[in-house]
Structure 1
């Protein structure tokens, strides 16, 4: 026993003497220049170890390193790319003889990283490979460099892999600052704490972290934990049981709680992610939940999402409704090399508005977006909350406004603006897509079987086709907006065929003054999209062809009878009839230009009457000035069963005046009387000519002339 004790004491003495000799004879600070030289050779940067390097002997041999700085090149806002106040590292010696690297606790205190990208795109991370600091030997000698000698590998039986273990990693009170002068952004990490429990390759270990910082004015914090596995050959890693909790806030935004959980992650395998975010942004509060399966391929080139789901409850004044629900389901892929994101089997719902299809996004200087979407039903009015306005209330509003329309320059005077819409987005996108909708409603107009194809590229919006069924007819529309000039330009063509006009007008404008089956061809263009500029600058034509309809609000046959009675100095017999004028065909070509819409070929035909007219309306102040001439061209019963044979061949002039909200119809008495005088004079000449042929010189007899005058007066009175 005594010998054993003496042997142990001898070992202790030898160890103490060895350590004392190591401390006395080997000063680790003498390695500073060598370390700095090797760093300079490898990176081209200076490494400055200001503090001392000191030995550690318990619980294992290691080093304590004082303040150390890794320098930046000249021209950056901070002198150091990385620095720390103190670092500790220890290694067990005896296991090294068995090719076991047992590293003690690694501790880093007061670490800081500074990364900056200048306005010219140069970063302090550039050139860290050190290639700029050394010249290849082949270039300096002019001869090819000889390949380095390679020793023969040891036989497999003689090779033994190193076993590495780590007692733990602790990073305390670290910080970072990332500045991008080119993008004008700045992100600062005020505090980073990180701990890693003891682990060895091939074995799971636990990690925890806590971080706080700011990006611009947005402050953020996050904390989380996970389990980590480093592959035995150090060629891969896995994580599992990841949980993350974060928050962010600035003057107007408040992300109160964001949580993310991940069951596991390994390259080439599917992982399950669940997340939830609650918070507020200006005029909107939200609560979202979602989940997806995630896979990153072994080459780290493709990220895939399967069964991605997102549900959100929204509240706020910025929404079309006080509260809304949003849902999203899709499979997705993102190609890192191409910067291409693809959404397949996409299903999106915002309350009752639902879409499905596929879409893609490719990152580029001008992002490329493609989509092909469809929906069974889209009700824009219900979505925007504008579909409950009744026709009667609308008409009531119009009647209230009509009283003031004449006092100023029309209802539009208060609405007009010179402010052009912001179309800058047209210059930032390369977008093309298709949309198909089974039933569509907007501005109370109903359409079905809607198909739309559009593109946006180089500042030009091109609606290559909008086709739909509309009130028993069809509509085809094309449009183009070019935002590249000082003011945007536009061109619109529209072809409407077989549309029932009255139900369309009732739904859209709460106006039932016109009925019939209509064909309308629109071809217009202009400069400027502000309302005032559209009214002033629009040019083109609108060609109208209506059949088998009626004009409500005016009964022209009744006005003809009133005209006849006026010529006779009598009061027309009152017959209770609906105020409408039937027609078999109505045609007109409306020309637009200089703020005016005008026509010179208005023509309305029916078996009983013919109506033609001309006139104009101001698009700026919404006034109307039309003259309409109505003629009875057949012997027939008029509307209401009243015989009008006696007014055949009579043309009745009607003036249409007023404004768009309250047009007025009135007889042009002056023209009517002038017409009557002309007819009476013409009839008198014909009678005199007939009497001369019949009676010869006797026709000039005063008695015969009086008899002829009495007959003519009876006809016209």
Structure 2
């Protein structure tokens, strides 16, 4: 029995000497030993600065000053993990039983860099031990040959999280507080994170129910909830070790602009109708090459509901291909701020003083590149409402091309394209063809003119440059043509104007109208207008100031049956602002026409007297100037014949 007591006493003494030696060992020597062990187990360098303090029971732990843990050989030169201080502790009793129960991992001001390249992650470790070669630590030993591994507490304070994929930095977040727990091998792993962003903080709650399966590379369930200023995001699906995932997602925003600002997109305006408040759900798939596929999408954007599918390539900017369907899409308040937005007040009705001089925010053209096709029952935009339409929007580096395939507008159909380019200042242009357009609707919406009605066809090319609506309208250039069937001009009665009716006011009904025009510096010019009526025809020429919103146009109707069938013209001048033009006969033109008629009458009388005098002298009837020449020739021939006969002695 005494020898047993001596052995126990000797063991305790040796253990005490070992512990004492460790406690008395200089910090730099202890750090060197730990670094060698980490190098042997992971193949990575561990650099420890300052004193290293150990604890043995009940927690076997270590506390150190500044620490840096090396990156994978193929990754960047920056360490995978660095921190101002690090504390690690494991359950000593569980460790003696073969289980690794990590009680704590606490890091102050750490930087964690996660890198993925060609399917390899820098979180996958290799051993430097010769017998192990380069076997991945992710490879799971045979069942029963390893003890349980758990994590009671992981805490990172004021951390920086960097994620690099194939050499490109995808995410870089500062001021992150992170806490994780995995208390039992069969329990879910939970993670909570918070980071400071403009306008507040983003909170992330993540749950992986089967961490061992995830760590072995199997796609496992994942639930993530992200709460940010202005909205929240939820994902419920599956994920694998490479970061690929698929499942259901749900995005809700109460203030989309605030949420975009929280993720580094400050200053991006979201117009009413396109999701100042949004509720979007669907099924999403993400692959490690940065591709997102969305199916069964339902998006409630303010009062608009859109369904469809989309494919997105994460890049700068994102590449989007989408096919969308909508019912009645209301974008009529595109440039209107939502009620109650901070710093903005509502005003009463504003008197129309011309085109708007407010700057146009075209920054949304730079949000993405790609191709989006939209089918809708109707689309209301400021000042216009399209009927059933099939539209394709192509986006390329702040340039948008809207293709109409066709679009229903003004009770007719438009084909062609409209372009908005904001690469170096804003410009808008188009090349359109129209069929069956209601002219009154078109002129009222586009120019505020409601005096002409009818159904027409036409073509229109235009280009405008400027940062305001007013600048664009004053810079318009282009050309076009229109042909209108039967229609009505309101505001004056052509029959009364030509003296064929005693009624006042009224309208003028025409059978057809055609005209071509050119645009330059916001001024439309036309010199070939032709209008056909029952008893009249009308010609027109003049200018329409698109930018200045005024008109100076000469409209010349001709009564075809008047003046003994010779016609009678009474020109009408339309001049003044669009809102209240003056329409009245141009008396100067009437007087000129009358004077020309009198001169012609005098010329005809003189000519007739000359013809009669010549006829009397020649003894023949002369009706025109050519008859005078013939009569003179005939008279000379007759007299010459008589003289020749006398010379020959004939009677």
**Same fold, judged at TM 0.5 (above):** yes
Could you tell me which residue of structure 1 aligns to residue 556 of structure 2?
629
Q: Matches of 2:611 and 2:46 in 1, distance apart?
A: 127
Q: Matches of 1:127 and 1:350 in 2, distance apart?
A: 40
The answer to whether the 8 A contact 1:92-1:104 is kept is no
Q: What is the CA-CA distance between 1:621 and the residue it aligns to?
A: 2.7
Q: 2:285 aligns with which of 330, 333, 338?
A: 333
2:175 is the alignment partner of 1:188: yes
Could you tell me which residue of structure 1 aligns to residue 313 of structure 2?
362
RMSD: 5.0
Could you tell me which residue of structure 2 aligns to residue 35 of structure 1?
34
Q: 1:678 aligns with which of 581, 593, 596?
A: 596
Q: 1:478 aligns with which of 417, 421, 429?
A: 417
The change in CA–CA distance for 1:65 and 1:596 in structure 2 (over 3 A counts) is closer
- List per-residue Cα deviations over 1:509-558 (Å, max 9, x = no partner): 77531111211210123444543442343221121211211211111221
2:293 is the alignment partner of 1:342: yes
Could you tell me which residue of structure 1 aligns to residue 246 of structure 2?
304
Q: Matches of 1:39 and 1:498 in 2, distance apart?
A: 80
Could you tell me which residue of structure 2 aligns to residue 498 of structure 1?
436
The change in CA–CA distance for 1:176 and 1:331 in structure 2 (over 3 A counts) is closer
- List per-residue Cα deviations over 1:341-373 (Å, max 9, x = no partner): 111122223365222211111113442100111
Could you tell me which residue of structure 1 aligns to residue 83 of structure 2?
82
The change in CA–CA distance for 1:620 and 1:268 in structure 2 (over 3 A counts) is closer
- List per-residue Cα deviations over 1:189-232 (Å, max 9, x = no partner): 46x666664x4xxx53587777666357745667x79796665x
The change in CA–CA distance for 1:454 and 1:666 in structure 2 (over 3 A counts) is same
2:237 is the alignment partner of 1:294: yes
Q: What is the CA-CA distance between 1:626 and the residue it aligns to?
A: 1.8
Match runs of 1:317-716 below 5 Å: 320=272, 326-336=278-288, 338-350=289-301, 352-381=303-332, 411-412=353-354, 415-416=356-357, 419=359, 421-423=361-363, 425-426=365-366, 429-443=368-382, 445-484=384-423, 486-505=424-443, 511-528=449-466, 530-561=468-499, 575-634=502-561, 649-687=567-605, 689-690=607-608
Name the stretch that deviates more: 464-473 or 429-438. Answer: 464-473
2:64 is the alignment partner of 1:67: yes
Q: What is the CA-CA distance between 1:380 and the residue it aligns to?
A: 3.4
Q: Secondary structure at the match of 2:110?
A: strand
The unaligned stretches of length 5 or more in structure 2 are 71-76, 115-120, 134-141, 164-168, 259-269, 338-348, 617-651
Q: Matches of 2:100 and 2:5 in 1, distance apart?
A: 23
Match runs of 1:119-138 below 5 Å: none
The unaligned stretches of length 5 or more in structure 1 are 1-6, 118-124, 135-146, 151-158, 239-265, 387-396, 402-410, 563-573, 636-644, 699-717
The answer to whether the 8 A contact 2:161-2:174 is kept is yes
Q: What is the CA-CA distance between 1:656 and the residue it aligns to?
A: 1.5
Q: How many residues align?
A: 561
Q: Matches of 1:447 and 1:668 in 2, distance apart?
A: 40
Q: Secondary structure at the match of 1:575?
A: coil
Q: Secondary structure at the match of 2:570?
A: strand
Could you tell me which residue of structure 2 aligns to residue 153 of structure 1?
none
The answer to whether the 8 A contact 1:178-1:187 is kept is yes
Q: Matches of 1:469 and 1:168 in 2, distance apart?
A: 63
Q: Matches of 2:132 and 2:105 in 1, distance apart?
A: 39
The change in CA–CA distance for 1:608 and 1:380 in structure 2 (over 3 A counts) is same
Could you tell me which residue of structure 1 aligns to residue 159 of structure 2?
176
The answer to whether the 8 A contact 2:250-2:282 is kept is yes
Q: Matches of 1:506 and 1:533 in 2, distance apart?
A: 21
Could you tell me which residue of structure 2 aligns to residue 19 of structure 1?
12
Q: What is the CA-CA distance between 1:651 and the residue it aligns to?
A: 1.4
The change in CA–CA distance for 1:48 and 1:10 in structure 2 (over 3 A counts) is farther
Q: Matches of 1:312 and 1:304 in 2, distance apart?
A: 22
Q: What is the CA-CA distance between 1:20 and the residue it aligns to?
A: 1.9
Q: Matches of 2:467 and 2:301 in 1, distance apart?
A: 30
TM-score with structure 2 setting the length: 0.70
The answer to whether the 8 A contact 1:334-1:340 is kept is yes
The change in CA–CA distance for 1:376 and 1:160 in structure 2 (over 3 A counts) is closer
Q: Secondary structure at the match of 1:101?
A: coil
Q: Matches of 2:244 and 2:537 in 1, distance apart?
A: 73
Q: Matches of 1:65 and 1:576 in 2, distance apart?
A: 107
